[in-house]
Structure 1
């Protein structure tokens, strides 16, 4: 039996894949513990999860107008670096008390990587997006140099200064929760293993009105994730208008966790703060998304094509992968209106090539092995 310590940020989309892998390891007789925010980890991994608490810095709201390099700089200055600084003591205590054979650190929890190298513990990276090995910063060399300076300073204070690799990518094992077919022509380091999405069972809200769905119409799922409610009102309103204009043949379920839509639900559009996304994807004909990696992966797993409207961070990269794979249409988030969104919806619903490409990517996901493949790679690292 081996021991695995999962180090995760306070982000649902980053914890969910780790939950599936951890469950597989436990089923194989291994012991698993977590370092992170106990409330969130227990909510997603179950109340029986063994969690070592870590301090989490307060959330700093990112200005809605920030895009591109400015948004990336803000993310590093106000989230990644403070998160690493706050989590290091808790991660180190967890490592010393739990004595893991392997630390599995999310690519955004640098504390896990730094503590692992300082204590000499084998490290695996949990990569929920291919952005870090996609040369996404090739067009912004000064930003890349600036980030390298930040990680070097963190390593000097908390890690092993003799190391020189990017702490976001373990030199021994990187579990990429996607497939080569979707990642495309990225420059892939040899330690990266594509395992496809590790989907976690999530119980549906008990009060979802399943009877509202009209089986004679195509169902469109609209979601901008949980971190974009501050900028989503206009775009969601335009999506609703595009659907209503096609109400005789389509209907939409819109996730609105921030309550930004003022229109009430009607026979064409159902607006809810929380939706059973995985269960709905089994019935969906198309998805409108911000190109967040998890929503994209879950949609393609189910063979559902997408209309992608990336906002910031790695979303333009993921949107580009969807379009390059032929599994969706991209619209501009800032300028997308009911006309452009509607035309994109018509394309993915009416042109068979998009659904065929989505199914092809879904097949590649299943062939990659998911949580079982990830667990096998971790077992080898623990030997």
Structure 2
């Protein structure tokens, strides 16, 4: 059978969405291999996964204060470009060892795209956010030119001439969303909805703490972002609403030492997908994965975007009628509480979330993604 090589960056949120796609391809009998950070992949993938280490360079933490172009510049110059250069040798070794017929390349793992071009292999983009589909830089030619310079810089470093944008395969781009949420897209983009793959590792959670008669508010800023002021605002908003329960994810331990009210549980790690099945509302940073995983359960949102693609995803949530938006830096406990009350009490937000959920189901998920990837074999 024909083989696939998944090339992923060392970011949990970029690996999880494609695990289910890889599982579906394996179920169909296709050999599947992975190229990326060995320790991260070993934690997220099944024990028998074929992992080819790429040894990415240590990445500097991005200052939380950066916003707008400053945040984009740091992301490209300090993270994405060095990541492409350091991953490329490992991706090349993986290609030589696994002999894949198709590469499935995360949108931020540029090394996969460049190695595929150099080796003459077809490759598909796995777009773990829909923000790029909207062409957010259409009115910013100077920023577009700067991005082109960054791509040329990587091409030069790797000795791969060409003009193709490594974020978009000319063969196939798979988006883990739907047109109802992200808007309509053109060729070669295929929207398959969010994919829920089996994730290894068990996270202990005190399930008996949850009251089935009490609405559950789930609060998370994702796997990378932090914000103690906002999280404390959420805790205080829930303190004033004892008729609600809230699980607050504090991955950085910023609230460690605080004493939350009895109706709030603060945890540094949680079984997010299982909790979303019980949630009545999600408060988050508008990260693409959290938004789509919530809406896949028909759960409306309060979104407070911080930077990067999050403002675009937040606008999509509002346009779909599936939630309300707050300003992350200015939202107080009062603002958060009022937004929570609005979404929980207004049926239109539940209806909007349900419309998106139904569109995700129609999109086809892992099976549709695998169908599209198999089409590259015949092509």
Q: Same fold (TM over 0.5)?
A: yes
- Bigger drift between 201-210 and 265-274 goes to 201-210
Shift of 1:91: 0.4
Residue 200 of structure 1: which of 194, 197, 200 is its match?
Answer: 197
Give the match's secondary structure for 1:348.
helix
Q: Work out whether residues 3 and 100 of structure 2, in 8 Å CA contact, stay in contact via their aligned partners in 1.
A: yes
Give the match's secondary structure for 1:73.
helix
Q: In the alignment, does 2:143 pair up with 1:148? A: no
Residue 320 of structure 2: which of 325, 337, 343 is its match?
Answer: 325
Structure 2 length-normalised TM: 0.97
Q: In the alignment, does 2:256 pair up with 1:257? A: no
Q: How many residues align?
A: 377
Determine the structure 1 residue equivalent to 2:294.
299
Shift of 1:200: 1.8
Match runs of 1:131-210 below 5 Å: 131-158=131-158, 160-161=160-161, 163-184=162-183, 188-202=185-199, 205=202, 207-210=204-207
1:275, 1:315 → 2: CA distance?
22
Q: Work out whether residues 243 and 269 of structure 1, in 8 Å CA contact, stay in contact via their aligned partners in 2.
A: yes
Q: Work out whether residues 297 and 357 of structure 2, in 8 Å CA contact, stay in contact via their aligned partners in 1.
A: yes
- 4+ aligned runs moved over 4 Å, structure 1: 203-206
Match runs of 1:1-383 below 5 Å: 1-158=1-158, 160-161=160-161, 163-184=162-183, 188-202=185-199, 205=202, 207-229=204-226, 232-247=227-242, 249-261=243-255, 262-383=257-378
Shift of 1:140: 2.9
Unmatched 5+ stretches in structure 2: none
1:241, 1:320 → 2: CA distance?
26
Give the match's secondary structure for 2:174.
strand
Structure 1 length-normalised TM: 0.96
Give the match's secondary structure for 2:292.
helix
Shift of 1:312: 0.7
Unmatched 5+ stretches in structure 1: none
Give the match's secondary structure for 1:33.
strand
Q: Work out whether residues 205 and 275 of structure 1, in 8 Å CA contact, stay in contact via their aligned partners in 2.
A: no
2:367, 2:183 → 1: CA distance?
23
CA RMSD of aligned residues (A): 1.3
Give the match's secondary structure for 2:32.
strand
* Post-superposition CA distance 1:282-330 (Å, at most 9, x none): 1110000000000000000000000000001100010010001010100
Shift of 1:189: 3.5
Give the match's secondary structure for 1:143.
helix
Shift of 1:136: 1.1
Shift of 1:264: 2.6
